[in-house]
Structure 1
Amino acid sequence: MYTLATIADVVQIHPTDFPKTSLRAIEDFVNTKYADKVIHKVGLCLGFHSLISASEGLIGHGTGIVNVNVDFRILVFRPFKGEILSATITHSNIRGIYLSMDFFEDIVVPPALLPENTEWCKDEQDEGGTEVFIWRTDDGEGGTNEFYFDRAEKVLFRVEQEEWNDLSPQMKRPDDYDESVTDEYGMRKVPYRIIGSMMHSGLGPTLWWLGEEGAAEDAEPAAEDVEMAG
């Protein structure tokens, strides 16, 4: 899910950052410039990891800014194809189910990648008539079981495909600035999107496979983890 990418860049250290150590000033610059940004065909940058090398600083004429050529590693989110990840259903419509991992929300599961016999239909248990994807299975006694992909449910999904769009200023087209223009999933064009599936056994809402108690325990951190965090 996470990997390290090596990047070369020119770091500008402003006079206000001179009281900091060189490493801290470089780290702060990198995090400000790259954190929460997508680099095309690299992934979503999360934060500075380590410094590989740095040149002698050159002071800019009349500004006092020190320019340093650096090579550094940065932590990147880019899961591999086939990886199983955990997320939360934010909403759904007839075009698919949309997921969030809190720090990354451009995840969609198309209807074709849901379990067989899954349909988009009205939830009869909801007085408001909410529409939702429902997976129907044979209960072995001539009836059917219904499993719901409800909003806010914790799910497991499998990474099937990456979609990249270079939205750098020099590559943008007029339509990219129009918020009314959407794609096949009803979403605006984004630099990086994950297409997932929930069609295999063990995937989908964790409540299906673990039960209510198991899902609650899985969502809560272990006692020793809480102690370590404290």
Structure 2
Amino acid sequence: MYTIVTLADVVQIPPTEFHKSSIRAIEDFVNNKYADKVIHKVGLCIGYHSLISASEGLIGHGTGIVNVNVDFRLMVYRPFKGEIVRGTITHSNIEGIYLSTDFFEDIIVPPPLLFENTQWGADDTGTEAFIWRPDNGEGGENEFFFDRAEKCLMRIEQEEWNDLSPQMKRPDDYDMERRDKYGLKLGPYRILASMLHSGLGPTLWWLGDEAAADEAPEEMEIDGAADEQ
């Protein structure tokens, strides 16, 4: 899920940063430039990991900015194909189920990658969601709902990359409201996941009362806070 990659860059340290140690100034520059950003075909950058090497600083003429050539390591988020990842359903529509890992939200499970006999429908309250209807072994069917805010396990199946750098864009790419085949705004990095095997999907399906008991104290605390307000 998390990997370490090696990059090289020119770190620019302005005079206002001279009160910092060199290693701290380099770390701050790298984090400001890369953290929470996607590098094409590399992954989502989490933050600076360690310094490999740094050259002597060269002072820019007339600016006082010190330029340092550095090799460093970054921690990135890029789960591998076949990895089982935990996420939370943020919303669903006929195009699929959208999930978040709290810090990364471009994860989708399309309908073909859901359990067999899963269909888009509505429950007794009229709330629309995907519903899995497996045979209960007695000639009938059970119903299991992919509800919003459910914690799920999913299997990573495919990555989708879009190079959104200015030199790669066509004129029509500047339409920020343009939607893709999933009805989402075009992003630099997206993960397609599946819920096709036993143990995947909402964890409450498989853990039952044990999971419900684990979540009960949190729900009670929230309810108590609401009463105090």
The TM-score, its normalising length taken from structure 2, stands at 0.91
Secondary structure of 1:145 counterpart:
coil
1:198 corresponds, among 176, 195, 200, to 195
Structure 2 counterpart SS, 1:209: helix
CA drift of 1:175 comes to 2.5
Q: For residues 176 and 195 of structure 1, what CA distance do their matches in structure 2 show?
A: 22
Structure 2 runs not aligned, ≥5 long: 218-229
Structure 2 distance, partners of 1:17, 1:216, is 51
* Contact kept in structure 2, 1:87 and 1:100, CA below 8 Å: yes
1:97-148 Cα deviation digits (max 9, x unpaired): 0000111000000000000000001112x1xx12110000111222211000
Counterpart position of 1:141:
138
Aligned counterparts of 2:147 and 2:2: Cα–Cα separation in 1: 28
Matched, 1:33 2:30: no
Alpha-carbon separation, structure 2, partners of 1:61 and 1:78? 40
Compute the RMSD of aligned alpha carbons.
1.5
Match of 1:22 in 2: 22
Q: Which amino acid in structure 2 is aligned with residue 163 of structure 1? A: E
| Aligned residue number for residue 223 of structure 1 | none
Kindly indicate whether residue 179 of structure 2 is the aligned counterpart of residue 182 of structure 1.
yes
Shift of 1:172: 1.4
Q: Bigger CA drift: 169-178 or 42-51? A: 169-178
Deviations 1:137-181 (A, max 9, x none): 111222211000000000000000000000011111223221332
Aligned residue number for residue 5 of structure 2: 5
Query: How many aligned residue pairs are there?
Result: 217
Asked if 2 retains the 8 angstrom alpha-carbon contact of 1:47 and 1:74, the reply is yes
- Aligned 1:102-181 pairs, distance under 5 A: 102-124=102-124, 126=125, 129-181=126-178
Q: For 1:155 and 1:216, how far apart are their aligned partners in 2?
A: 17
Name the aligned partner's letter for residue 13 of structure 2: I
Question: Distance in 2 between the 1:106 and 1:215 partners?
Answer: 27
**CA distance in structure 2 between the partners assigned to 1:168 and 1:135 by the alignment:** 40
Kindly indicate whether the alpha-carbon contact (under 8 Å) linking 1:206 and 1:215 is maintained by their aligned counterparts in 2. Answer: no
**What secondary structure, in the 3-state scheme, does the structure 2 residue paired with 1:138 have?**
coil
Structure 1 residues 173 and 63, CA, compared in 2 at 3 Å: closer, same or farther? same
- Determine the C-alpha separation between the residues in 1 that align with 2:213 and 2:54: 48
- Aligned AA (1:171): M
Aligned 8 A contact 1:38 1:192 in 2: yes
What is the TM-score of this pair, normalised by structure 1?
A: 0.91
1-side partners of 2:213 and 2:103: how far apart?
22
The CA distance in 1 between the partners of 2:170 and 2:107, in whole Å, is 23
Task: Report % sequence identity.
Answer: 76
Closer, same or farther: CA 7–131 of 1 in aligned 2, 3 Å? same
Structure 1 equivalent of residue 55 of structure 2: 55
Q: Superposition pairs for residues 58-73 of structure 1, below 5 Å? A: 58-73=58-73
